[in-house]
Copies of this chain bind each other. A is one copy, B any other.
Amino acid sequence: MKNTRRKFFKTIGLATATSIIGGLYPRQVSASKKVKWKMVTSWPKNFPGLGAGAETLANYINQLSGGSLTVKVFGAGELVPPLGVFDYVSSGGAEMGHSGAYYWKGKTAAAQFFSSVPFGMTAQEMNSWLYYGEGLKLWEEVYKDFDLVPRPAGNTGVQMGGWFNKEINSTDDLNGLKMRIPGLGGEVLARAGGTPFTLAGSEIFTSLQTGVIDATEWVGPYNDRAFGLHKAAQYYYYPGWHEPGPTLECIINRQAYNKLSKQLQKIIDIACKAANIDMLSDYMAKNYQALEYFEKEKVAMRQFPREVLVKLNKISDEVLLDLSHENKISKKVYDSYTNFLKRVRPWTLISEDGYLSSLK
């Protein structure tokens, strides 16, 4: 229907067409060629931080285009389940999706580098790699086979290590640790002697409370508070070594993207960039407030001992190296990612960390 209309305009010329339709003002001219898109997401509708970020992105696109491209956001499960986003957008069921690239490791192992990997880059490092290194170009290459155009569209910042009912004083305490920690972080824990669980968000609280698991990671103070996890665990550990700055993604069906005017394509690209900084700013503001709440509730904060982090870091390096052997593109992305991280980190330690730790 939309295509027919577009061809019709192209053939007879828009001014004539609008005369026929009778719209005499520019608003109506553009109204007559309004494009309506669907955005499916991996988050419950209006989920704090992540879901809000999807809404923000849709709003930006609507506002920037003056309504000529409107995007309607669907929460997880409304059109497809949380992990059905990739396939659905790939097949064109929806034109757009909002999710995290590490969910698609089963499709392509390399995807994980575009969200977060254990002991990987922080938000600022990721953005630098994506926008001014090879990151986004490689991401586009990886997703091309799936007819998807990826764009960075948010970041949670460094997450928390998680909620524990056992203290972690040495690497021995990782032995037999039953922890909800999916993905690469889980793989690292397994090699360190623990037992990783993959549980949906809805199952975490009860599993922790009943002792099915000893520990769980989730996101950070803001999201963790909403889940009430402090009521089911004794210790709140940091840092979130397994997710030091996950990038959230906007994925766009390639055919849908290609059909847009250059201007609308740019509107999506730049809206994603603005949504990227916006989500991190939101998380910063909400996380510190939730942290204050936890302090008032006398939640016991704990820092992982250095010995534990050193061991987890060593194992992480091995896990990422294995990942690089999965296929050619995975190796290519691994090389670019690890090289950039190795080179950018000395500057991060001198600038951000040099400043933040200067008075400690």
Contact = CB atoms under 8 A, between A and B. Distances in A.
Interface residues of A, number: 87
Interface string A193-228: 000000000000000000000000000110000000
Interface stretch (A70-78, A281-289, A319-327): A281-289
- State the oligomeric state as a number of copies: 2
A347 B291 contact: yes
A356 interface: yes
Given A277-B276, A284-B344, A353 B350 contact: no
Given A158-B352, A239-B350, A309-B358, 18 more contacts: A13-B25, A14-B29, A63-B270, A123-B124, A124-B280, A124-B284, A127-B280, A127-B281, A128-B284, A130-B281, A133-B285, A157-B351, A238-B351, A277-B277, A287-B351, A289-B343, A292-B343, A304-B358
Interface stretch (A16-24, A163-171, A176-184): A16-24
Interface string A7-48: 000000111101100011110011001000000000000000
A128 B353 contact: no
B280 A346 contact: no
Interface string A283-303: 011111101100000000101
Interface string A334-356: 00000000011011111111111
Nearest to A270: B274
Given A24-B14, A281-B131, A306 B354 contact: no
User: Chain A contact residues: over half helix, strand or loop, or mixed?
Assistant: helix
A293 to B, nearest CB: 12
Given A15-B18, A16-B24, A63-B263, A357 B355 contact: no
A351 B273 contact: no
B355 A239 contact: yes
A103 interface: no
A355 B15 contact: no
18 contacts: A15-B23, A15-B24, A26-B26, A63-B263, A128-B282, A128-B284, A159-B351, A160-B350, A221-B347, A239-B350, A241-B355, A287-B347, A288-B346, A291-B350, A301-B350, A313-B359, A348-B356, A349-B360
Interface of A: 13-16, 18-19, 23-26, 29-30, 33, 60, 63-66, 122-125, 127-133, 157-160, 220-221, 238-241, 244, 261-263, 266-267, 270-271, 273-274, 276-278, 280-282, 284-289, 291-292, 301, 303-304, 306, 309-310, 313, 343-344, 346-360
Contacts of A30: 26
A125 B266 CA distance: 28
A286 B16 CA distance: 52
Given A24-B13, A25-B15, A274-B274, A285 B132 contact: yes
A132 B283 CA distance: 9
A303 B359 CA distance: 12
Contact of A132 (B16, B284, B292, B310): B284
